[in-house]
Amino acid sequence: MPKFRLLLQRTPVTDPEAIARGAQALLDRGSQVRLLTPRLWVYTPLVADYRRVTVTWAGPGAQPPAGWTAGPCLNGVQLLYSDTDAAPPDPVDNRGACEARLAWLRTAWPKLVVSAVVFGAALAALRWLFPGDLPLFLANGLALGFTLLVLLVLILQLCRLAALRRLTADTRLAYAHGSPPPPMPVLPAPLRGLVLALLLLSLVLMGFGSPTLLGMALGVLVSVLLQRCWQFSLLGKGVSLRSARRRTAFLTPLVFGVLLVFYLAGALPGQNPSRPVQAASYDGGQYEIYTDSLPLELWQLEPDLSDKLLWSRRLTRSRSPLLTATDCRQIPANGSGYYLEYRILDTALPPVQALVESALLADHPGALGGTNLFGQARYDGYDPVDPTPWGARAAYRLHWDDQMKNQYLLCWPGRVVEILLDHAPNEAQMATVAAALAPNP
């Protein structure tokens, strides 16, 4: 049998008298409250022969009256237990209650500010990690999910700061008029539902991006829950809260460290990265070779390749519910002059494809630059070309200044391909590229 129980409140309970009645009802059944929030109470069997329970207003660290033992506190509302027939504490007037509420608000304010700054910095760091490659960001479910999660927590913290500031102003006004402290603000039900939906969406996105890392995050979360349950069980055995926290402090760091070691070792289920194979060339040198299967390879474009070339073929893929990005690269490890690089971007959402095409074109705007011997020069940019040989809806070729490069942007319904070739392709090679990379009808 567990040594603790959870009591979920249907409606938030912040009224001192309602808290006292609920705590007394539990005391009559041989239990005492150990954690107090507006919606969740955690209670354990009695750790002493308590007979009475009451509430008072007290600031952080305030000493309980003689004959009473301090229980949990909720924003200035302090639970008190007594195992004697000690007289109840003197009632606190409205001004004293407001002073206790303000004292607790002063302790909560720095924590929320630090938390908001930390999550704001994390959001800025994510923006720095993906400064301009929008397709890469849209195809990274882990980045999308983590960004949404960080943004959600940041918004919640800012909302809590705004509510805290409003509550502080209302409490000061109540103190000036000698009125009772105002009720604590609670999150409306529609907003709680929206927060839950966004939280689930962020987990889905993270699962698309990296099921292994999502499993690690959930494993750490489970360890935190187990740690809390262990603490409550120790509380039920009469252990102090400080001692319970000290005894269980190792659990979450231990779980995180073990999972991190297994992840770095590539030993977690579902972790299957592309790994190079060390291979020897004809002259005895060692080369790092990838042997992934690619949808389009150089031999399909150039049949007369040397047999002495040692090819490295690498494929990496990232995906999210919005976009799947497949990066392919084929180069000779022991030669030069041949290379093939392309990126396939797949999406079933036309607005996302339009956004991706606009982002890729915007990365190479072809703006006017300085002047050279031939007149005004342009920076790199995509120029439209005839899409018919490619069998595409639209096709573009990259230029740098006044020189055309062998990099093309090809657009089919549901797929965008950016490909870099070692030389300008003829129509037969264009048809080969289209046959290999165009989406199936």
What's the pLDDT tens digit per position in 292-315?
Answer: 899 999 888 888 777 777 788 899
Q: Where are the beta strands (DSSP E) in 63-211?
A: 69-74, 77-82
Q: Which two tokens stand for residue 133?
A: 């490659």
Give pLDDT tens digits for 29-62: 999 998 888 888 988 888 888 989 999 998 888 8
d(CA 126, CA 318): 17
Does residue 131 surpass a pLDDT of 90?
no
Does residue 367 surpass a pLDDT of 70?
no
Percent helix / strand / coil, the chain, rounded to 5: 45, 25, 30
Between 6 and 127, the higher pLDDT residue: 6
Does residue 372 surpass a pLDDT of 70?
no
In the chain, % of residues over pLDDT 90: 30
The reported pTM is 0.75
Phi and psi at 211, nearest 5°, equal: -55, -35
Between 292 and 188, the higher pLDDT residue: 292
Give pLDDT tens digits for 310-354: 788 899 988 889 999 999 999 887 766 788 999 999 999 999 999
- Over residues 257-268, the mean pLDDT reads 77
d(CA 164, CA 143): 31
The answer to whether the beta carbons of residues 183 and 13 sit under 8 Å apart is no
- Map residue 418 onto helix, strand or coil: strand
Q: Which amino acid is at 221?
A: L
Does residue 202 surpass a pLDDT of 80?
yes
Question: Nearest-CA neighbor of 199 among 161, 164, 155?
Answer: 155
d(CA 408, CA 393): 13
Q: Which single residue is written with the structure tokens 């490295």?
A: 312
d(CA 267, CA 273): 11
Q: Which residues contact 209 (CB under 8 A, 6 or more apart)?
A: 140, 141, 142, 143, 144, 145, 318, 319, 320
C-alpha dist (Å) from residue 225 to 196, 220, 229, 230, 251: 18, 9, 6, 9, 10
Does residue 234 surpass a pLDDT of 90?
no
- Over residues 128-157, the mean pLDDT reads 83
Residues paired with residue 42 on neighbouring β-strands, in sequence order: 6, 35
d(CA 390, CA 427): 8
When pLDDT is cut at 50, 70 and 90, the band that residue 273 belongs to is: low
> Mean pLDDT, the chain, as a whole number?
84
